[in-house]
Amino acid sequence: MAEKMEHSALTEAVYYILLSLYKPMHGYGIMQNIKELSNGRVSLGAGTMYGAINTLLEKGWIHPVAVTEEKSRKKEYQITEVGKEIIKLELLRLNELIKNGDDIAGG
């Protein structure tokens, strides 16, 4: 069951959070980054992001990064190897969706 779950679709929030965290980033940075990546289409709610980050931490798909600057108390996160594997699987799935969509409905 657990294995099957790992192959099902990621939410848009989770997908974009994981992508953002290929570089270490804090919450506000993630939100800005996602907005940029999606050309302003995706505006992630702060509460939605908080819940997603906590779930991703629990699953070990991201990890907290030790903050070096003394002044900054903001927590930073980064994707783990497991997280990267998940993204690869998701990319396979998305590519399949796009290929089939293009073949059937695309111009």
Partner 1 sequence: MKHVIRKIFVDFEKEEKFLNEMSATGLSLTKYSFNKYVFEDAPKGEYIYRIELLEHPVEHLESQEYIQFMEEMGAELVTSYHRWVYFRKKAADGEFTIYSDNDSKLRHYKRIMLLFWFVIGLNMFIGLLNLFLGNLISSAGRPPINSYLSIVSFSLVGLLLLFLVIPLRKKIDRLENEKKIRE
Is 100 an interacting residue with respect to partner 1 (CB under 8 A)? no
Of 17, 100, 106, the residue nearest 54 (C-alpha): 17
Choice from 27, 57, 59, 78 touching partner 1 (CB under 8 A): 27
Q: Compute the least distance from the CB of residue 47 to partner 1, in Å.
A: 4
List helix spans (H) across 38-80: 46-59
Per-residue interface string for the shown chain with partner 1, residues 36-75, x marking contact by CB under 8 A: -------xxxxxxxxx----------------------x-
Nearer to partner 1, 45 or 60 (CB): 45
Q: Which residues bind partner 1 (CB under 8 A)?
A: 11-13, 26-28, 31, 43-51, 74
